[in-house]
Structure 1
Amino acid sequence: MFKQVFLVKLLILGCTFMAQAQLAEDIREAAQMYAQANLNEDYELLLDFTYPSVIEHAGGRDAYKKTLIQLNEIQKSRGMKLNEFIIKEPMEHVKAGNEYHAIVPYKMISQVKGGKLSSENTLIAVIAEGKDKWYFIETTSLTEKNLVKVLPTWDHTLTLPLKKAPIYQEDK
């Protein structure tokens, strides 16, 4: 009897671990596509991966796309070019209401006049229960206080990592 209970618990634990691993892999895969869209300046794909509330707060899809294009043009006019967008392992995830939220760290490396600028930040990955599409929220300009404006289901179970200053490395 003890052996059967132990095996059932082990099976449940194994299934839970596999589900957690699959969730992390799904997040990472979607985040990689988001990163590639950034590198390729594929604004339509970026919009497809952007959490709908963010787009809504920006005035709609066309307005947000225009903003993305303008920001990119400003960076280019200042001699900046995004070279790398490196997705790191999702840190943790939780269920909040009918959604799952995950913190996904990333590193961006841009070529700038005279060197490279490296910055680290996080994305919040969001998926509704029963859905198969991950959305992302850039946390660059968000704080724990204003995050609920774009992500109403944010329950503060996860903590946004502290912001890090960009690092400039001069060309040699």
Structure 2
Amino acid sequence: MNRVKKIVFLVIIAISTNLFSQTKADALKDAKIASNATLNMDFETVLKHTLPSILEMMGGKDAALNVLKQTFNGMKAQGFVFEKADINGVSEIVKEQGQFRCVIEGFNQMVMSGQRISSKSYLLGIYNEVDKYWWFLEAKQLKNTVLSEKVLPNFETQLDIPEDDMKLEPIED
């Protein structure tokens, strides 16, 4: 009987590990989908992967869609160009406060007003267990306690959320 228990235990560990690693792979895949959607100005997809409480703060999905379109159209009119939006990696996934979470490292490169803007930034990923995909929010926003309380009340994490890093350089012809 002891041998049967060991085999069952090993099978459970193998299944759990496989599901866990698939979730991390899914976080990477979904972050890349959201990143590419930003580059392609596919705001429907961007909003699908946006934490619902953020959409609520923006007045709902339709209002958020309108804000994104207006913002990007205004930036485009001023010469803004998104050159790159890459996802560099995903942290380990942790379960905290009843949610699966991870930190996503991204790199964005943009051009505006004769300057190239390079930014390494971080997203907090939260797994949507109902619909089986990841939601994201800018991790730096969680350092604003007023905003954090509105978006994720009583938020606590053991995840390391690094500071964003942005560089500006003039574009020389």
After TM superposition, the score normalised by the length of structure 1 is 0.82
Structure 1 residue 150 corresponds to structure 2 residue 163 = no
After TM superposition, the structure 1 stretch with the greater mean CA deviation from structure 2, 24-33 or 105-114, is: 105-114
Partner of 2:24: 24
Q: Do the aligned residues in 2 keep the contact of 1:98 with 1:128 (CA within 8 Å)?
A: no
Of residues 19-28 and 52-61 in structure 1, the stretch that sits farther from structure 2 once superposed is: 19-28
The separation in 2 between residues aligned to 1:119 and 1:72, in whole angstroms, is 18
In 1, the alpha carbon distance for the partners of 2:73 and 2:51 equals 23
Give the SS at the match of 1:92: coil
In structure 1, the partner of 2:34 is: 34
Q: Which residue of 2 aligns with 1:164?
A: 165
| Structure 2 CA distance for partners of 1:2 and 1:144, relative to 1, 3 Å | farther
Partner of 1:66: 66
The one-character-per-residue Cα deviations of 1:123-157 (angstroms, maximum 9, x if unpaired) are 11111445412111123544162323212363222
Given the superposition, is the C-alpha separation of residues 4 and 132 from structure 1 closer, same or farther in structure 2, using an over 3 Å criterion? same
* 2:117 matches 1:117: yes
CA-CA distance at 1:116 after TM superposition:
2.1
Alignment of 1:3-22 (within 5 A): 14-22=14-22
| Deviation of 1:46 (Å) | 1.4
**Post-superposition offset of 1:14:** 4.5
Q: How many residues align?
A: 172
Shift of 1:25: 0.5
Name the residue aligned to 2:99. 99
Q: Distance in 2 between matches of 1:79 and 1:65?
A: 21
Structure 2 counterpart SS, 1:19: helix
**In structure 1, how many angstroms separate the alpha carbons of the residues matched to 2:168 and 2:44?**
30
* CA deviation vs aligned residue, 1:110-131 (integer Å, no higher than 9, x gap): 1234342111111111114454
For the residues of structure 2 that align with 1:132 and 1:153, how far apart are their CA atoms? Answer: 24
**What runs of 5+ residues in structure 1 fail to find an aligned partner?**
none
Aligned CA-pair RMSD: 2.7
Structure 2 counterpart of 1:116, one-letter code: R
What residue number does 2:82 align with?
82
Percent sequence identity over matched residues? 26
Unaligned runs of 5+ in 2: none
**TM-score with structure 2 length normalisation?**
0.82
What letter is aligned with 1:66? N
Q: What amino acid is the match of 1:170? A: I
Quote the offset at 1:9 in angstroms: 6.7
Would you say the 8 A contact 1:96–1:154 is kept in 2?
A: no
Question: Do 2:140 and 2:163's aligned partners in 1 also have CA atoms closer than 8 Å?
Answer: no
